[in-house]
Structures are given as C-alpha cells and as structure tokens.
Amino acid sequence: MMAEDNFNLPKHIAIIMDGNGRWAKKRGYPRIVGHKAGVNAVERVVRAAATRGIRYISLYAFSTENWNRPKNEVTALMGLFKYYVKLKIDALKKENVRLRFSGRFSSLPESIKDILREAESETLNCNKIDMIVCLNYGGRQEIIDAVNIFIQKNPQKQIDEKTLRSCLYLPDVPDPDLIIRTSGELRLSNFLLWQSSYSELYFTEKLWPDFDELDLNEAISSYSGRERRYGKT
C-alpha cells in the first residue's frame, strides 16, 4: 500500500449495524438467523478495518431501546453476544484486537458482564485496533450518566465541555470521524449523540449481514473525498 492511500483515513469509524431482521425475513428465516449472519459481518469488517489501518471501530450492537423487542429476540441476542465474545477472545488476542465495551454496564445480565470483563482484561494490551462493542448503549443515557458522575464528584461546580467529555463511557476514544449506517435508514437512533457532532455520515442500502470489505472501502473513499470545515470557511 502506498503512503498516500492513507491520506485522509478516518481514525475512528462507528457503525450502526442495521438490517439483520430484514435480511432474514427476505430468506424466510427467523430474525435470529439474521443476527447470526450479522456476527459474521462483524468479523469480516473488523478485520478489514484493521488491515486498512483504522485505529478504532465502534459497533452499535444493542441499544437501550432494543429491550423493547419481543423477549425471545432479546434473549437470543444476549445469548449470541455471550457465545461470540467467549468463543473469540483467543482469536481477538492473536489478531491484536482490543475488545472494549461501551454502554450501561450495570444493568446487563451478570453472565454477560463476566464475559465482557474477561475479554476486556485479556485483550487490554492489544493495540492494532480497538473494537468497541456498544451494548445496552444509548447516547442520551451516556450524557445523563456523565452529568451524574460529574455532580457526584463536584456538587458545587458548573460543568464545561472538557469535563463532560472526561465523564463519558470511554473518554480516551476520539470522536468518530465517520459514522456508517446500513439498511437504508437515515437516522442515528440514539447512537453517540455527543461524539457525532462533527462526524461525517455515510448511509448505504446494504443490509448489515451483506456488508463487506468492498462496502467498507467505498465508505472510506467517500469520507476521504470530503472537506471537513468545522464551521470555518
């Protein structure tokens, strides 16, 4: 790869992985089959992102609103997260992938917490790419949690931008340069509300289980051709 290929490469890509249910429906399968196919897409895309030199990838896996889905789907999804993370810890470590969690940890089922803790500590020193799994994540909830942490520590003080940022779930992670959403929906659905203020957005009709390395490259190319002005001329 030539050096100029890395020009204007996003450092952090965040993905709203949408369309698993429709992918399964099209084939006459139950929705969970779509979620399983979505897990394969995760592996493929994280590997491709690491190869491209992306340093952080955030994956919206389960929102605070997704608890409102039918119980059997929620249970199946939680089972899938557990199974996948446990199964993949060694492989992630070998590929130098640091697995990190973002979201409201406290209200997750105990068995998932244990596996996430283990995966985080096992891959703590991996530094090729940070794979951030946003689970029980909500952007408004994150801001509320941050403000509450701040108030607890500094009851008399006013909050400012820098301090609020320092109270977010993963304060060391830079804002996403590029946010991708699959399946043709044109909204953020409560994802990274604070961090997305100057992110570039990329939408594709592709359903998440069909998203591959070529789609990722297309999104990156689109990003690379944009001018980020941050309010300047």
Q: Is 114 a catalytic residue?
A: no
User: Would you count residue 169 as binding ligand IPE (CB under 6 A)?
Assistant: no
Burial 114-146 (b: 16+ CB within 10 A, else e): ebbeebbeebeebebbbbbbbbbbbbebbeebb
In this chain, which of 22, 93, 104, 113 binds ligand IPE, going by CB under 6 A?
22
> Shortest gap between Cβ of 204 and ligand IPE (angstroms)?
14
User: Would you count residue 185 as binding ligand IPE (CB under 6 A)?
Assistant: yes
CA dist., res. 60 & res. 45, Å (int): 13
User: Would you count residue 77 as binding Mg ion (CB under 5 A)?
Assistant: no
Place of tokens 């992985």: 17
In this chain, which of 12, 14, 17, 18 binds Mg ion, going by CB under 5 A?
18
Residue 62 binds what, of ligand IPE, Mg ion, none (CB under 5 to 8 Å, by partner type)?
ligand IPE
Q: Of 20-28, 96-104, 158-166, 170-178, which segment contacts ligand IPE by CB under 6 A?
A: 20-28
Burial class (CB in 10 A: 0-12, 13-18, 19+), 9: middle
Q: Which of 233, 176, 180 is nearest to 206 (CA)?
A: 180
> Shortest gap between Cβ of 75 and ligand IPE (angstroms)?
13
Q: Is 125 a catalytic residue?
A: no
What value does the CA radius of gyration of the chain take, rounded to a whole number of Å? 18
The pair phi, psi for residue 197, each rounded to 5°, is -60, -35
Which residue among the candidates 8, 66, 190, 210 is catalytic per the annotation?
Answer: 66
Question: Which CB sits closer to Mg ion, 56 or 60?
Answer: 60
CA dist., res. 15 & res. 61, Å (int): 9
- Residues within the interface to ligand IPE (CB under 6 A): 16-22, 60-63, 66, 77, 183, 185, 187, 189
